[in-house]
Amino acid sequence: DALDQVVSAPVVLSFIALLATVYYIKRPRDPRQMPGNGPQEGPWRWAYGTGKDVVGKVNCTTYWHAEYGTVVEFGHGSGGGITFRSGTGKSVRWVWEDGAVEDVESIACPDVETVLQKGGGKFGTPKYRMFNRYNRQFWTPQNEGGNITFRNAMNPIRVVLHPRGFEFQIREMNNVSVIDGRPVGQHTIDKSDNPFQQEAKIDTPFEAGGQSEKPVEA
């Protein structure tokens, strides 16, 4: 019995040390301490943080364009909608899953935008999974041909960040675009008559080949 106790003590200690090592390697990491995937240069930088929306606390991954001040905010629990600011000093807008756009008072995570404006953040795409408060993953980021692409798990939404701005796409078709710090086409919600009977209207025409075109209804 004494010999068993002598032998078992080192075994138990070794097992505890192994568990501690595995936990250290696999432990949850603060997304703010994790480097980005992809090229470590370009006009877009991202940062992670928390804020508040109409539901409550929200986790955000926010991108900021260094030249134009364009902001794209991905709420980790969003079913396809995003918040954006087309350029420095511009109003904040929300794009719904159907492509309709409306003005909002503020982005959900303003502290993250401040960090980016002061030169913080990282290049490329996050390495962490973008889970919501219910542990569901809604957005999947990746680098595609020099662009940064986010795909939504709930709806056929793709957001493409490219060197001059971004495109919000529904079923691979452009619905909202911001180029060189200004919107070039979007649908907005007209609430002037009846807020319970919202109708989409054209707010800003697309510009293609130097001429204006009306966007196709989604």
> Does residue 30 or residue 108 have the better pLDDT?
108
pLDDT at 210: 30
- Greater model confidence, 45 or 12: 45
Q: What SS3 class is residue 115?
A: helix
pLDDT at 6 > cutoff 50: no
DSSP 114: H
Q: Answer whether 67's CB lies under 8 Å from 88's CB.
A: no
Sorting pLDDT into bands at 50, 70 and 90, what band is 130?
A: confident
pLDDT tens per residue across span 55-79: 778 889 999 999 999 999 999 888 8
Task: Please give the structure tokens belonging to residue 44.
Answer: 């877009």
d(CA 2, CA 23): 32
Of residues 181 and 212, more confidence is placed in 181
**Mean pLDDT, the chain, integer:** 74
Segment 190-211 mean pLDDT: 33
For residue 134, is it left (φ>0), alpha (ψ between -120 and 50) or beta? alpha
Is the predicted pLDDT of residue 204 greater than 70, yes or no?
no
Q: Which positions ≥6 away from 39 have C-beta within 8 Å? A: 123, 124, 143, 146
* pLDDT of res. 118: 94
pLDDT of res. 53: 79
Task: Specify the residue for token string 């000093």.
Answer: 89
DSSP string, 4-58: HHHHHHHHHHHHHHHHHHHHHHHS---GGGSPEES-S-SSEEEEEEEEE-SSSEE
* Residue 24: per-residue pLDDT: 41
138 confidence band (pLDDT: 50, 70, 90): confident
